[in-house]
Structure 1
Amino acid sequence: MAEGKATGLTIERRFTTEGESPYDTVEWSKRDSRITNPDGSVVFEMRDAEIPADWSQVAADIMVSKYFRKAGVPQYDEAGQVRLDDAGTPVLGPERSARQVIDRLAATWRHWGEKHGYFATADDAQVFEDELAYMLLHQMAAPNSPQWFNTGLHHRYGIEGPEQGFWFVDPETEELTPSPDSYSRPAPHACFIQSIDDDLVNPGGIMDLWVREARLFKFGSGTGSNFSHIRAEGEPLSGGGKSSGLMSFLKVGDRAAGAIKSGGTTRRAAKMVILDIDHPDVETFIAWKAEEEKKVRALIAAGYSSDFNGEAYATVSGQNSNNSIRMTNEFLHAVQNDEDWHLTRRTDGETMKTVRARDLWRQIAEAAWASADPGVQFHTTVNEWHTSPAGGEIRASNPCSEYMFLDNTACNLASLNLGKFYDDATGEFHLDDYKYAVRLWTIVLEVSVTMAQFPSEAIAQGSYDYRTLGLGYANLGSVLMRMGIAYDSDEGRAIAGALTAILTGYAYATSAEMAAVVGPFPKYHENTESMLRVIKNHRRAAYGAEQFEYDTIGHTVVGVDQRICPADMLDMAHDAWNEALTLGELHGYRNAQTTVLAPTGTIGLLMDCDTTGVEPDFALVKFKKLAGGGYFKIANQSIKPALARLGYTDTEIADIIDYVVGTMTLETSPHINTRTLLARGFSKADIAKIEATLPGVFELGFA
């Protein structure tokens, strides 16, 4: 590895103009935001919030209801002056403009980056801030929700809050340090993996985990743990007697998460529960949620509400987590060969029960069919792509399973809106802009690790040691549709593979560039060989290598299809991984991981994506929320450009959209119309009422 450090990162202007504020590149509008329950009761309301004019009402509602800080923010009068009370003290209240929120994020990232020597000059830091503000304003990218909740509250408003038991590693002294308050160091990480020991009340044990989880849920984050160290039901206890088993404790954690969901101010708790396939309680765990769903069905049949937030679901357990089974290749081979599988005690590793592997597989399939849980995680495959095995095996994931790494680490996410890089008029995907955005947001996420605080000493140390990042994208399904390419097609998969290769390749290249400036992640040197092996395997996949060319990979790797991938995308994917490897061999990497593909359930809507994450579109017809209240049925906004790309005329496109959406009137309906309804005994007043409701209903039966 090269000796010495580079002087700092240079940032070029791409979307902004020197001397022009990025906030002047959008038109602003005043919006009312109102969130209601299904029964019409108001959950949240704010009038005259300032939002970019071209944002949808859904995006505006998410910004205002979820991401505006609701207290502690100085209030301004119409002249832009801080309002003072009779004692001359600033009047405090909520944020009232998206520019306030975006400013506190971009300015805080710039502040921490500058403070810790990431940028070559102050001008580079200013460009960094301007470009990020532009991309947020124009819905080109978004960080994960905890950044919106927490980042910049102290830097911009001086909000501190009480000490909450958080920790960080001081970059100057490299010592673990308790955080003095809630916000001087924000909590920007969405994804956590926490360890749990087979201990009831001591630090690191079962009851301690519920406290650590609660600390994360309070600040809007999610957490996952592998519970396989916990003794099974019937195993001996050190003080005599028998263990009550894993399930009794999981129910406690489930109730705790449910309570925080009900009392939280940001969003519901998110947790992942994972169990190894050889745990003696695995059969009960597999059936847990499916059995509870049977109770729910019985209560609904007895007259209770079927709403997920209703009393029927609140009465049963297992509803506040995602559950997954961790399985090895050995188990899969046992299923394939119809062999027995041994469930082993946690205390001494001896066999406690023997079952047919195929019976377990069948139980998993039936439970997932009945209740959507458990999921499966392929332990062997995940660890074959592990960059840092010297730190131990990867055993768990965050709640949505995009982040898989060592226990007691965290990952902060951001996603790029692919739709903003595609030009409908020319059919061109702006690869250079995409590459630029990947670099910029990789820097954001790395700076966010430096500024962050963490819910335990172990996570603070693990996150400092490995500095894992989670850059991803959203709107893939929409972009493929607008290109006129089927999502489930070889060409669609080739494009998705190339875009993902560009994302991860340039993220690692940027990580190596940062390593030249501020050094590689602390545990890099003990993992150098393993990390470079993984990087080389990624590069092989970008080049569509043959299976025998991969190093220490026991499964079939599906690389980018070199035959049908667009040439410009393929060339950039190759360049990305060449650069990632070349720079990494010179400088190492600042981050043990750089990318994930998250569901983007909230930020995808904030960016007005038609499709979230990597998913295809779930429906061609959707409901657009109107600023004044109510909904209007629309066709997916990608349908029109997709049909145009496929060569349909304007008239044909209009006819197709009318067919998909419906005419929303009885007048031109061929079978059920004003004449037929009158013949059936409906009055003109009845028909007029039906007609008035049609624009806002999914189908005629709801009118």
Structure 2
Amino acid sequence: MTETVGGSAKKTAARAAAKPAALKVQRVYTTEGRHPYDEVTWERRDVVMTNWRDGSVNFEQRGVEFPEFWSVNATNIVTSKYFRGAVGSEKREQSLRQLIDRVVKTYVGAGKEHGYFASEQDAEIFEHELTYMLLHQVFSFNSPVWFNVGTSSPQQVSACFILAVDDTMESILNWYREEGLIFKGGSGAGLNLSRIRSSKELLSSGGTASGPVSFMRGADASAGTIKSGGATRRAAKMVVLDVDHPDVEEFIETKAKEEHKIRALRDAGFDMDLGGADIVSVQYQNANNSVRVSDEFMHAYENGTDFGLRARQTGEVIERVDAKSLFHKLAQAAWECADPGIQYDDTINDWHTCPESGRITASNPCSEYMHLDNSSCNLASLNLMKFLGDDGKFDAVTFAKAVELIITAMDISICFADFPTEPIADTTRKFRQLGIGYANLGALLMATGHAYDSEGGRALAATITSLMTGVSYRRSAELAGIVGPYEGYKRNATAHQRVMRKHAAANDLIRTYHANDSSVHKVATEAWQQALEIGAKNGWRNAQASVLAPTGTIGLMMDCDTTGIEPDLALVKFKKLVGGGSMQIVNQTVPRALKALGYQEEQIEAIVEYIGEHGHVVDAPGLRREHYEVFDCAMGERSIAPMGHVRMMAATQPFLSGAISKTVNMPESATVEDVEEIYYQGWKLGLKALAIYRDNCKVGQPLSAGKSAKATDEKKSSETVVEYRPVRKRLPKKRPSQTVSFTVGGAEGYLHAGSYPDNGLGEIFVKLGKQGSTLAGVMDAFSMSISVGLQYGIPLEFYVSKFQNLRFEPAGMTDDPDVRIATSVLDYLFRRLALDYLPYDKRAQLGIFTADERSAQVAGEYGAPTSSEVDIEGLRGSVEAAPAQTETAAPKQVGSSTELLELHLGKAADAPLCMTCGTKMRPAGSCYLCEGCGSTSGCS
């Protein structure tokens, strides 16, 4: 498709004579006369991905070619997700070279066709530079590029879409259709329903309108049906409603009420587990909901005054509500079920480059892309750790050059891209919205000795973000001088220039603390000055340049330790090994951070060893307390406070065209007032959007079921103190028992278990090692402690959740067909006890099954979901643990690093299971990411 920019032939000729020469491309990474492929060592690998349930093969492709420095995980994900062609056919891609060439050559060809390059040599340099950066994981395009570009499929390059719906039945039905088309392609969309009349307004026929919430039911059902059609990514969606809509209270409480229904049905015995037969009876589970609040409303909240809800067609106030009460209901609903999030309408539109073409009313499903209705955005993200030198300095100059090349490629893609609907195609071609961003910020901050929640950390993040966007707009202005500004620029020139000045002014206000952020800030300031100067002359090629996306699958493709703007998840992870298996390692960023903080090699080794054993830095030998904060993570012994996440978002928001995909995680003990304060501070600090997730606020978290109810009861009766004293229930003199002989890693032993007459476990004795040995004595004392605990009423499932997956010798193969591999004797013992004494539903929550049950699950019994049946949005917040490596017949297959680590820390997981491979996902922005196979629950 060829884009036309300009008017008459006379005007086109005049502009062509006046405009500067086309783009001259300078080498950054490559060497003249040497192709990037020739500078790396390649190797052949076998990619075999198995199902955690029974070890059956999900995907297999042998002999694929990758550079030796690519991890096993990145190799698996790229091969299974992005290689095109039927597996086993000659057309199937089998080398990373083929994948990169397919994409890069398409981009370069379009760039030459549309007049971007000054010469063939410049085009070749551009090709080599893009190839090098992709090959060396410096950046990645978003997933649709890898899926579609250079194939026979439609050349879809965008991951983010915004739709529009009006107050007519034709428009509402078209909304269903357009969403379905986008979902069918594996992408997501968002829209604002505020134009639809409320249920408190009349129709022209005299009847009462249905209201937007009623129409959400149909869209929710449609999304739930379409997304189970076999796509590798779920159909994410966002639904927005303005705070002055008369149905806003109903909208706020929609998902919270459904959560109450889920609880009631579960308690009544219905199957409300993930993928259960009865979960489809609840509604609105396929969308993220957000309320658009205005400054007028927020001021009314501050002042404790009322606020008017307005008719959709006339704008007249038809009802007045107390702003504080409504805002509290918003926080209450979010506290109960994590929805709705909040979007700050006036802030969003104050940074809008194209207000003459329409207001920004909605966002994509992850809330980072915000622009005109019926538009789309393609994303790309840089790996920040690739710009950190061994000396601890961030290479701002090289970073800026990389941004220039990437933003150029992203703009070229709009010239040949296809779109799901004509209105989206028209708007995107006229405004050319781009979404460059980054990943690995959390790792970068730790590696440079910065705490995530610190002034220094925020300063470095702000300067890097400012540099990225400043360089992007400078290159956009340069491109406007070569191939013309975006078609809608002339109408919006004044507003666009105003927003550019706002970005530059915000850059001038950054306070720097260290050499790194000072040097980056200097380059960023120069970039903004040049962007303003060149843009004033040429205009800009793009109405939008930058966002901070979740970087889910592509973050794994780049071997990033952290996604998007997120901090590190935890200090200990599980690394896949070539040939199968995995090992627990301390994040490689930790020793680098310790070195940056001035520790010696011997000290670093001791601290790393301590972290590997304990999972945290508290009381690590030789580590100074003032350095603890550098190693704070999203979870674990020392977790970052919720406001720490908000402050980091606020530090970077002024330097982004769009917004930030991030969910602020809050502890289970957080109150409704805490949520309310977070949402209020998001507005005060200038964010565009915010969402929270309170630990265990979803029903589908069986490992901690009952905790939320307890917290609610405690809140309701906070003034009442009740002291509970446990009572020991002793076993009778004569009781039933059984003895199991076992072998773990060659070590033999016996487990004796005694029961109450009503069949409840009451004691255990373990014989391991020779009588009188230290090991035998320790096991005797351990058995006595567990037995007394059982008799005092501590549930067996509690012990199982704590002791399964503990790792120490002896470990390895067992002689038990139900537990083939054990990570320790205790891991085996408590899995065996669970199998013998716990009912199926409790074992399912702990991820413990017999060999027969695992086989039956694969066959579809016990309500186990298949990949085409799982409702991924309904999985949000689940803690149903996937069976660990120790239970499968294939040692190489493990749960995700998040799953194993969370069990290691004894913390309830809030992530869903992956619909593709069944392992535990982990948070990535406001979405979830599977580290096992690369599937995401949203944008990437």
Asked if Structure 1 and Structure 2 have the same fold, meaning a TM-score greater than 0.5 normalized by the shorter chain, the answer is yes
Correspondence list, 1:103-114, <5 A: 103-114=101-112
Instruction: Trace 1:474-485 onto structure 2 (pairs within 5 A).
Output: 474-485=439-450
Once the two structures are TM-superposed, the CA of residue 455 in structure 1 deviates from its matched residue by 1.8
* Corresponding position of 1:25: 39
What 5-or-longer segments of structure 2 have no aligned partner? 1-13, 616-743, 748-773, 785-807, 815-821, 828-885, 887-893, 895-899, 907-940
Of the candidates 524, 540, 544, which is equivalent to residue 505 of structure 2? 540
Partners of 2:905 and 2:323 in 1: CA distance? 47
Counterpart position of 1:12 = 26
User: Structure 1 residues 42 and 127, CA, compared in 2 at 3 Å: closer, same or farther?
Assistant: same
Aligned twin of 2:301: 335
Change (3 A) 1:245 1:647: same
**What SS does structure 1 have at the residue aligned with 2:18?**
coil
The 3 A distance-change label for structure 1 pair 313 and 131 is: farther
Structure 2 match to 1:123? 121
Aligned to 2:323, which of 327, 344, 357? 357
Report how far residue 305 of structure 1 moved.
6.6
What is the match of residue 938 of structure 2?
A: none
Moved more, 631-640 or 560-569: 560-569
Which residue number corresponds to residue 317 of structure 1? Answer: 283
Instruction: Tell me which structure has the larger Cα radius of gyration.
Output: 2
2:105 partner letter:
A
Letter in 2 for 1:126: E
Residue in structure 1 matched with residue 369 of structure 2 by the alignment: 403
Give the SS at the match of 2:47.
strand
Equivalent residue number for residue 497 of structure 1: 462
Point out the more displaced range, 20-29 or 402-411. Answer: 20-29
Residue-pair matches, total: 632
Secondary structure at 2:519's aligned position in 1? helix
Distance 1:245 1:531 in 2: 36
List aligned pairs for 1:190-589, cutoff 5 A.
190-200=159-169, 202=170, 205-301=171-267, 308-311=274-277, 313-423=279-389, 425-544=390-509, 560-562=510-512, 566-589=517-540
> Offset at 1:10?
1.0
Partner secondary structure for residue 228 of structure 2: helix
Aligned residue number for residue 188 of structure 1? 157
Distance (whole Å) between structure 1 residues aligned to residue 264 and residue 604 of structure 2: 48
| Partner residue, 2:70 | 55
Match of 2:210, SS?
Answer: coil
Deviations 1:617-652 (A, max 9, x none): 121122223344443322222111011111222222
Q: Which amino acid aligns with 1:198?
A: D
User: Deviation of residue 601 (structure 1)?
Assistant: 1.5
Deviates more, 1:490-499 or 1:646-655: 646-655
Is the partner of 1:473 in helix, strand or coil?
strand
Structure 1 residues 506, 21: closer, same or farther in 2, change over 3 A? same
Task: Tell me what 2:80 maps to.
Answer: 65
- SS of 1:420's partner is helix
Q: Partners in 2 of 1:309 and 1:452 — Cα distance?
A: 36
The question of whether the paired residues in 2 share the 8 Å contact of 1:142 and 1:603 is answered with yes
Q: Is the 8 A contact 2:456 2:513 kept in 1?
A: no
Alignment of structure 1 residues 595-606 onto 2, 5 Å = 595-606=546-557
Of 564-573 and 393-402, more deviation after overlay is shown by 564-573
Q: How has the CA–CA distance of structure 1 residues 677 and 311 changed in structure 2, closer, same or farther, with 3 Å as cutoff?
A: farther
Distance 1:663 1:398, change over 3 A: closer
More displaced stretch, 643-652 vs 428-437: 643-652
Contact 2:810 2:824 in 1 (8 A): no
Question: What is the alpha-carbon distance in structure 2 between the residues aligned to residue 308 and residue 626 of structure 1?
Answer: 31
Residue aligned with 1:96, SS: coil
The superposition leaves residues 132-188 of structure 1 with CA deviations (integer Å, 9 ceiling, x where unpaired) of 1111111110011111111111xxxxx2xxxxxxxxxxxxxxxxxxxxxx43xx110
Structure 1 distance, partners of 2:775, 2:532, is 66
Conserved? CA contact 2:485–2:541, under 8 Å: yes
Aligned letter for 1:590?
Answer: R
TM-score (norm 1): 0.85
Counterpart in 2 of 1:611? 562
Kindly provide the amino acid, as one letter, of the partner of residue 191 in structure 1: C
For each residue in 1:391-420, what CA deviation from the matched residue of structure 2 results, as whole angstroms up to 9, or x when unmatched? 111111111111111111111110000000
1:141 aligns with 2:139: yes
Find the aligned partners of 1:674 and 1:107 in 2 and give their Cα distance. Answer: 67
Distance in 2 separating the partners of 1:297 and 1:94? 47
The aligned amino acid for 1:413 is L
Secondary structure of 1:643's partner?
helix
Q: Distance in 2 between matches of 1:673 and 1:113?
A: 70
> CA shift at 1:334, angstroms?
0.7
1:178 aligned residue? none
Partner Cα separation in structure 2 for residue 364 and residue 676 of structure 1: 53
Cα–Cα, structure 1 residues 426 and 305, in superposed 2: closer, same or farther, change >3 Å?
farther
Whole-angstrom distance in 1 between the partners of 2:50 and 2:261? 29
Partners of 2:69 and 2:202 in 1: CA distance: 64
Q: CA–CA distance in 2 between the matches of 1:35 and 1:295?
A: 38
**CA contact 2:445–2:457 (8 Å) conserved in 1:** yes
CA RMSD after TM alignment: 2.7
Q: 2-side partners of 1:314 and 1:47: how far apart?
A: 39
Given that residues 476 and 540 in structure 2 are in contact (C-alpha distance below 8 angstroms), is that contact kept between their aligned partners in structure 1?
yes
- What's the secondary structure of 1:405's corresponding residue? coil
**Mapped contact 1:218–1:264 kept (Cα < 8 A):** no
- Distance in 1 (alpha carbons) for counterparts of 2:500 and 2:256: 40
Deviation at residue 299 of structure 1 after TM alignment: 4.2
- Note if 1:650 corresponds to 2:601: yes
- Aligned-partner Cα distance in 1 for 2:242–2:417: 31
- 1:39 Cα deviation after fit: 2.3
Alignment of 1:145-164 (within 5 A): 145-153=143-151, 159=152
Is the Cα contact below 8 Å between 1:501 and 1:576 reproduced in 2?
Answer: no
Structure 1 residue identity aligned to 2:36 = P
Match of 1:660 in 2: 611
User: 1:29 Cα shift?
Assistant: 2.6
Report the counterpart of residue 676 of structure 1 in structure 2: 778
Residue 215 of structure 2 aligns with an amino acid whose one-letter code is F
| Alpha-carbon shift at residue 534 of structure 1 (Å) | 1.0
For residues 387 and 223 of structure 2, the distance between their equivalents in structure 1, rounded to whole angstroms, comes to 39
Instruction: Report the secondary structure of 1:142's partner residue.
Output: strand
Question: SS state of the match for residue 227, structure 2?
Answer: helix
Decide whether the 8 Å contact of 1:32 with 1:627 is kept in 2: no
TM-score, length of structure 2 as denominator length: 0.64
The amino acid that maps onto 2:365 is P
Q: Please tell me whether the aligned partners of residues 543 and 562 of structure 1 are also in contact (alpha carbons under 8 angstroms).
A: no
Contact 1:143 / 1:415 at 8 angstroms: preserved in 2? yes
2:96 corresponds to which residue? 98
Structure 1 residues 225-234 or 297-306, which shifts more? 297-306
Shift of the alpha carbon at 1:310?
Answer: 4.1
C-alpha separation in 2, matches of 1:314 and 1:632: 39
SS in 2 for 1:377: strand
Instruction: Give the CA deviation at 1:31.
Output: 2.8
Please say which of residues 138-147 and 368-377 is displaced more in the overlay: 368-377
> Counterpart of 2:693?
none
What is the identity percentage for the equivalent residue pairs of Structure 1 and Structure 2? Answer: 47
- CA–CA distance in 1 between the matches of 2:160 and 2:562? 22
Whether the 8 Å contact between 2:138 and 2:558 is mirrored in structure 1 is yes
The change in CA–CA distance for 1:700 and 1:133 in structure 2 (over 3 A counts) is closer
Distance 1:43 1:210, change over 3 A: farther
Match of residue 551 from structure 1: none
